[in-house]
Amino acid sequence: NNKQKREIYLLFPEPILLNRSVRANFLFTLKTYGIKEDIEERIKESLMCLNLDESLLSKYPNELSSGQSQKIAFAIALSVRAKYYLLDEPSAFLDKNTTLLFKKAILKMHENLNTGFLIASHDKHFLDFLAQKKLYLHSGEILEFENTNVFELENQGV
């Protein structure tokens, strides 16, 4: 149903922004997810989380660098505060500093809002930093499943 669909957010490796101002992109996404309250707070928080200046809100996608576009797309995703995020290669095309910002934002969302993340990535270092569980696939076959959450292992007596 629609409510369940709105609990999940899919973020692609290349940013998808409408040919509207950054603010209009935020507003469109939040409206699509049925969010009517705390709009400005959500926008400001998500921009701050990724060290983005509010002056970018008046810019259009063609006025942004590729790095800014990626950060904006991720900030828009964060503003939704979905229950689950599906991230496809979130660290692809990112520089080291932006990758660290994304990692910190993901951890903050998980810790503060109990948000779940399913991340598909070839970036082992990115996953090592974040993952509680890892599933390795090759040609559609499961090669290995790894539980990396130490606290969970301790609770199971391992």
Beta bridge partners of 70: none
Residue type, 55: S
What pLDDT score does 154 carry? 46
Q: Which secondary-structure segment (H or E) carries 10?
A: strand 8-11
What pLDDT score does 125 carry? 84
Beta bridge partners of 145: 135
Domains annotated for the chain, with CATH where assigned, are 2-119 (3.40.50.300)
Token pair for 49: 């989380």
Q: Which secondary-structure segment (H or E) carries 120?
A: strand 116-120
Compute how many other C-beta atoms are within 10 angstroms of the C-beta atom of residue 48: 12
What pLDDT score does 147 carry? 75
Asked whether the CA dihedral 112, 83, 44, 38 is positive or negative, the reply is: negative
Instruction: List per-residue pLDDT tens for the chain, 158 residues long.
Output: 556 667 999 999 899 999 999 999 999 999 999 999 999 999 999 999 999 999 999 999 999 999 899 999 999 999 999 999 999 998 888 899 999 999 999 999 998 888 989 888 888 888 888 877 777 777 888 777 777 654 444 444 44
Contacts of 71 (CB under 8 A, 6+ apart): 50, 52, 98, 101
What pLDDT score does 150 carry? 47
Q: Which secondary-structure segment (H or E) carries 136?
A: strand 133-138
What pLDDT score does 5 carry? 60
Q: CA angle, corner 143, sides to 158 and 122, nearest 5?
A: 100
Token pair for 124: 């082992």
What pLDDT score does 157 carry? 45
